[in-house]
Chains A and B, each alone.
Chain A
């Protein structure tokens, strides 16, 4: 019984066998490719009521997009299935600052350092933008209550991430506008790579940051 189940599973996986792509290749190449194909050629595809990836592929084969090459179909399927329909990771908007905005802690103009902008949003709707996590933490320790969310930008990808999910590296050779910084990385692998390549000293999470650490970076 178990053996037949096992064989059946094997069978099912071979029904839709495709090359295994790493996460990096998927995010950087496959999904954008699939997205472009979808938007340019297959917008009419009905995406409701799909329960498996194979069903999606069948629906693609039944539409006018069946004439695409297998490489394009694969990208389209992966994009639609994994990104459009089933990607539930929260997507944060890019942190934009105007030319007049200054960091509340150090008074520097934020528009000069777009890669470093970090933000605290409070429950009362107020948003404060800083030129790095160090200044943000200084302000945070003075006003720790009523925080709705803290967002910063991942170093490698320059995408907005939640500080609570981020991995910070200290003691590296990368300096922010305020000197030594907590460099935010989107995930552990990126943090490890960054630690090695930029001679960082520690990887810490948001909860472990203390005022003494912030002072030590100054």
Chain B
């Protein structure tokens, strides 16, 4: 029983938490993100086209930024985010960092994990990045920040655009993305179409399209979830059926003995009632709590892979913040407890009303 509830609740917690996170994340994305391709591969945008994009009437804001990986070790890449400290950035996490800390040229803001890693390599106040041509670039570590609430920024380094370009080997005004905000959302598809015309090689993704992409991959993995859920439900009903269809001879004996001792029907039923109630509620509470701990503290080690599949993970990493939809809790409770209850009480009642002798046979 408990196992069942735990499984169901785990799946529910996971799915609700992830879908909630997806929606909140996409809220703060810029309305349109433009990247360039060159010969079919990811290329670089020229920052100068921002002025041209701003000429489009409906565009309220446009800025270029650099977001690129920097290989530190074989399995760890830092994410370098090159920004202009005085530009308004859509991403609330990075905007908050820029508000709090002064970003000067030649210095950077690093995440806690990055700082630790650099410390291990004996870099405490500064770090030497290796340029593509092999030369070194020294950047001062200005401040470190905490990424507990933003695990997708675990390896984030924020620095000025010039420093980022220097390290990554980008030319004078190259950047990786241009973020575009549109004042009147009705205009977004039109502006996206215009951008595609102006820059034929560019990849123009609107917020809506990005949301759809996330939802699509999420729904795909939801399918697996649904299968598991159906199986658990089926198992549950098998248990119920088993209980309903009759009682094992032991149970009959038990009831028979109780009646022989002199227990009245009401008492037997009462005892059964408490027993069933206790089992149902206890397993419900236990199942839910274990599922809660499993998902939000242990971060769902094995089952989590249903949703946090590698392909999906590429785009997102989830912090799995506790987001409980009481609807689910309620649903499972209503589903499980009364049914189990009934499944225990009804046969017990049937048996208890039989004569004591008959039962013992």
Q: Residues of A with Cβ closer than 8 Å to B?
A: 21-22, 24-25, 28-29, 32-33, 36-37, 40, 72, 115, 155-159, 174, 190, 193-194, 197
Contact = CB atoms under 8 A, between A and B. Distances in A.
B55 interface: yes
Interface string B154-193: 0000000000000000000000000000011111001000
Contacts of B88: 32, 36
Nearest to A197: B190
A115 B190 CA distance: 17
Contact of A156 (B51, B86, B87, B184): B184
Interface stretch (B20-28, B57-65, B132-140, B304-312): B57-65
Contacts of A197: 190
Interface in B44-95: 50-51, 54-55, 57-63, 86-88
B51 to A, nearest CB: 5
Nearest to A158: B183
Contact of B54 (A25, A36, A72, A157): A25
A157 B182 CA distance: 8
Contacts of A193: 57
Main secondary structure of the interface of A (DSSP, over half): helix
A33 B51 CA distance: 14
Nearest to A69: B105
Interface in B212-238: none
Contact of B57 (A25, A32, A190): A190
Given A32-B88, A194-B57, 14 more contacts: A28-B62, A29-B62, A40-B86, A115-B184, A115-B185, A156-B183, A156-B184, A156-B187, A157-B60, A157-B184, A158-B184, A174-B186, A193-B57, A197-B190
Contacts of B57: 24, 156, 190, 193-194
B86 A37 contact: yes
B187 A29 contact: no
Contacts of A29: 50-51, 54, 61-63
State the 10 A-B residue pairs at the shortest beta-carbon distance, nearest first. A158-B183, A156-B57, A36-B86, A28-B54, A156-B58, A25-B54, A25-B51, A24-B55, A37-B86, A24-B54
A147 to B, nearest CB: 27
Contact of B55 (A22, A36, A159, A174): A22
B86 A155 contact: no
B183 A33 contact: no
Interface residues of B, number: 20
A194 B56 CA distance: 11
A21 B62 CA distance: 15
13 contacts: A24-B55, A25-B54, A25-B55, A28-B59, A28-B61, A28-B62, A29-B50, A32-B61, A32-B88, A37-B86, A40-B86, A156-B187, A159-B183
B190 to A, nearest CB: 7
Contacts of A37: 86
Candidate in B54, B58, B61, B86 with the most chain A CB atoms within 10 angstroms: B86
Contacts of A21: 51
A33 B55 contact: no
A132 to B, nearest CB: 13
Contact of B186 (A22, A115, A159): A115
Nearest to B99: A40
A201 to B, nearest CB: 18
A157 B183 contact: yes
Contacts of A24: 54-55, 57
Contacts of B186: 115, 174
Contacts of B58: 156
Contact of A72 (B50, B55, B59, B86): B86
Candidate in B184, B186, B190 with the most chain A CB atoms within 10 angstroms: B184
A190 B87 CA distance: 26
Nearest to B50: A29
Contacts of B62: 28-29
A155 B88 CA distance: 23
Nearest to A32: B88
Nearest to B181: A28
A144 to B, nearest CB: 29
Candidate in A24, A159, A194 with the most chain B CB atoms within 10 angstroms: A24
